Amino acid sequence: MKTLLKSDFLIISLMLFSMFFGAGNFIFPPMVGKEAGDNLYQAILFFCMTAVALPVLGIAAVARSKSLDNLVNRVDKVFALTFTVLVYITIGPLLAIPRAASMPYEVSLAPIVGDNLLFIYSVIYFIANYLVCINKTTMIDAIGKWMAPIMLILIFVLFVASLINPMGEFGISSQRYASNPMSSGFLDGYQTMDAMASLVFGIVVINAMKNIGIKNEKHLVSATIKSGILAGIILMSIYMALSYLGASSATLFPDTKNGASILSSVTTYLFGYYGKFILGAIFLLACFTTTVGLVSSASDYFSSLLPKLKYKFWVFLWCFLSLFMTNLGLDGILTYSIPILSSFYPVSIMLIILALMNNYIESSKLIYRVCVYVTLMVSIVYSLENTGANIESLSNLFRFIPFYDIGLGWIIPALACFCVTYIIFILQKKGNY
């Protein structure tokens, strides 16, 4: 039986970290740092509870379930197919991949040349994406051995430079972070939606380990969970460093409105003319590794769903569609994709929780169906309300639910449903119901 070498474990963990660490993960923590100000440490700790802990638990859930298919089929087959296909397509070519692919161009090239070279840039980008994805061994080596370490080194250099050349004291906390930094950090971390990505990336890690010869199921599950934990530790360290940049630069750059402008100002201040190249390189690596992970995971899923169409075909298709979407524009797509994401994200969290408790609930259809469908119902209403849909009579029925106004209205109904269905499940086991 082949065991996982420490070097292979590190490479796969770095690959997983870099797939999680996209453009949004790069630009969000600096803004959290700026808004948190003096309350940075409490805020970032609770930010990491949802932005790091949930994705790590998601990797563990997929590993223990052996695959995402096994997990979602515990609800029912119709839900499993609908949920999985919509999630893969929405966080793939319809939204996340084209957004991530266009981000380095928008940050580095668009201010200089406008949109004139977007098509040429995106063709080169997706050719490279295709070439990395078609060979999984090459993908592991390219991301784990080279791209992730280079990206970490650049971020480390940026952080150390801010310590050597301090930019100033932490700024004053914004109103919401001043009154409750812990809940604000918790909610901002929740909004990263990385728990959904963990369901997608879990299978990439499992397949990567299988490709290097790890066949023993118990060893595979254990190694996958450990790689998720290490990736989470790295992710948490990076979030803390980036939030520090935002907090320490707040008084020097008080007019910055988002994480991208904070990072642009900070890198220019610390490195002058060369700052934009460092920032552009980090953006490119962060986005490229994420899109590679999304293309590979989607191709894995659809090649198993439709075996006659091989993995390489799906890699080509997703790269081609993403290239098309990158140049077409995303405004119309956002109208449809964001409600799907925000509706399915709480469902993803519920699936993760149930999967981790599966030894106690024994894949109970009753528990899975009731908890998941109630969560989905509340989330759909909230998502439609946020998009401006005229559903006031319906949403009025839900506004009495605790935490509904901050997007967490699904928690109490789901908890209540779990308690009731678990009692029924126990009674059924004992033959009393």
Give the pLDDT confidence score for residue 226 in this predicted structure: 93
pTM, two decimals, is: 0.89
Per DSSP, the residues of 23-83 read HHHHHHHHHHHHHHGGGHHHHHHHHHIIIIIHHHHHHHHHHHHSSHHHHHTTT-HHHHHHH
Q: CATH code for 6-327?
A: 1.20.1740.10
Give rounded-to-5 percent helix, strand, coil for the chain: 80, 0, 20
AA letter at 168: G
Per residue in 305-319, pLDDT tens?
999 999 999 999 999
Q: How far apart are CA 291 and CA 18, in angstroms?
A: 10
Give the pLDDT confidence score for residue 433 in this predicted structure: 58
pLDDT-wise least confident of 71-85, 180-194, 269-283? 180-194
- How confident is residue 332, by pLDDT bands cut at 50, 70 and 90? low
Minimal CA–CA distance to 154: which of 248, 55, 289?
289
- Mean pLDDT, residues 178-190: 87
Give the pLDDT confidence score for residue 364 in this predicted structure: 93
Domain boundaries, the chain: 6-327, 348-432
Q: At residue 7, does pLDDT exceed 60? A: yes
Give the pLDDT confidence score for residue 398 in this predicted structure: 82
Q: How far apart are CA 394 and CA 402, in angstroms?
A: 16
pLDDT-wise least confident of 34-43, 259-268, 348-357, 380-389? 380-389
